[in-house]
Chain A
Amino acid sequence: MNKTILKAATGLLVLALLLAIPRYVESPYALHMMILLFMSVAQGQSWNILGGYAGQHSVGHAAYFGVGAYTTMMLMHTKQIAPWFGVWVGVALVVVVALAIGSICFRLRGPYFVLASIAVAEILRLSAINLTTLTNGAEGILATEIPAFVIGGTVVTDFVTKVPFYYIGLFLVLLTIGITYWVQHSKLGYFFQAIREDQDAAHSLGISISLYKNIGLVISAVLTSLAGSFYGIYVGFVDPGTVLGLDVSVQIMLICIIGGMGTLWGPVLGSLVLVPLSEALRSNLFTEALVKIGMVDAESKVGIFLKENLSHAHVLLYGVLVVLVILFMPDGLMGFIKKLATRRKQEAV
């Protein structure tokens, strides 16, 4: 009982802190980092419901991310429809896309499902490149003029600063964590995990495999699409590579693999590792650090090579990271922490 109170208190404290941050932190860069973190958590949680709990390792979640992002941006750009309406059109479209994909791909199991999910996302990416009249092709859509959000004559926000995006991002995080918690503590979560552990056994226990896989997919896809729409309006630009590319799908999955699949806090931990890491690589923090501690001379050939290339090396580093995680922490950071905790408990006894 004390433990639950402690947990709830910690949760509320963290939440209060997160709500208060924009009041005290003015640096747009810090807020930007937090928004990226929120986006990553939301993506990871969305994938986790299908991939982590139901065990259907989709490597095509860029499809739902991209459809959400594109729909919202296209409606805003060409029809001047405000994003808070456009988002729901995106959601509706994603449900249709998800059910179409599900009805085809869920006939396949294991690695065959993974391949099919990649193929479907690639079809959407190529469509986005080639349907130029609709999507503006490879050039993408630039739309930064978000109308002010007005309720009953008062302007709630005009989206000029990063603060409204911060709160939308935080809301997405709470929503996805809340839904994951609900799934975990309902019949749905039990059925998902049964399907993950042994599909034939689950089938014999009265679980309709195709029904529950599709339910998992729709929940996961809708949440991913919300994250995609958020990405679109926050960055103000979408193109086929950045929202529909294979990188996006892999990145979403990595959050869960590193943090721990099928756990409530895995995607949060995964994001806390991946977002700072990719930011450090992008801004070349590592090279600077190596130069500073005197390991590498900035003017030497090695220094110049690192400076020029390390910022593009995130894919390589992700690869190394995945290999390390799979070798040493097959259940991700959450699994690793749990193992440490039980070991300590056993030592205490």
Chain B
Amino acid sequence: MAILEIKNVSKFFGGLAANSDVSFSVEEGMIMGLIGPNGAGKTTLFNCITGYYPPSRGEIIFDGRRMNGLDPDKVCMLGMVRTWQKVRPLAKLSVVDNVMVGALARTSSLKVAREMAMEQIKVVRMEHRVDFLAGGLPIGERKKLEVARALATQPKLLLLDEVMGGLNPAESEEIIQLILDIKKRGLTQMVIEHDMKAIMRISDRIVVLTSGEKLTEGSPQEVVSNPDVISAYLGESHA
């Protein structure tokens, strides 16, 4: 069953079409990869899906419900949560307090929220950082904190915007394992990523965007062998 359906979504900024007529659907339990060159409209699409921009045209259906025009907080309460390409830690709060803010979307009790937060901190393996200020963490741990905080809101669909951006290979490998762990627990994920090797390993299906339009969609093997994709990334002479 499709948990998320994107139907002919377009987003215009003045005359510029950041997304035009994009359609695809995400099945429950899968990892959907979203790739494309810089400026292809990946983050804009995330912003439309999670309520930061209203789409100019088209429909976003999540869990059988039309999401167009809902605010980000409502989107989160309905079970769809995103992380940020440029990390946004709550700098002056500790790691556990950061994750508790997420958990408090589902409970009013600080005690319960703390337990829920500790659970997610364990998932991202940051137990040794519980009382550290989020602002003082190195980038790799900030990225993991983003994921823990998003998980604490108990989502049905997790949207990861370049969680491996700026990480070294060892840190990226950790994140890959984390994403696969999360998948094992049955959570659906949609992942924007530039690291092609990583996205090939984790994705069940991949959607390719270029200049705001959907170029193709398929399994990782289908996508890499598609001449259109190769020419979009490397130029026509390589196709």
Which A residues have a C-beta under 8 Å from some C-beta of B? 185-187, 190-191, 193-194, 197-198, 200-209, 262
Contact = CB atoms under 8 A, between A and B. Distances in A.
A190 B149 CA distance: 13
A200 B72 CA distance: 9
Contacts of B19: none
12 contacts: A190-B101, A190-B110, A190-B113, A193-B90, A193-B93, A197-B89, A198-B89, A203-B73, A205-B105, A205-B150, A206-B102, A207-B73
Contacts of A186: 110
A205 B149 contact: yes
A157 B101 CA distance: 47
B88 A200 contact: yes
Nearest to A210: B71
Contacts of A262: 92
B153 A205 contact: yes
Interface of B: 50, 52, 71-73, 76-77, 81-82, 84, 88-93, 97, 100-102, 104-105, 108, 110, 113, 149-150, 153
Nearest to B83: A204
B93 A209 contact: no
Contacts of A203: 71-73
A133 B182 CA distance: 68
A28 B102 CA distance: 52
B158 to A, nearest CB: 12
A266 to B, nearest CB: 14
A53 to B, nearest CB: 11
Nearest to B78: A206
A222 B209 CA distance: 52
Contact of A204 (B76, B89, B91): B76
B83 to A, nearest CB: 8
Contacts of A204: 50, 72-73, 76, 81-82, 84, 150
B102 A205 contact: yes
Contacts of B97: 190, 193
B88 A206 contact: no
Contacts of A197: 89-93
A206 B90 contact: no
A191 B93 contact: no
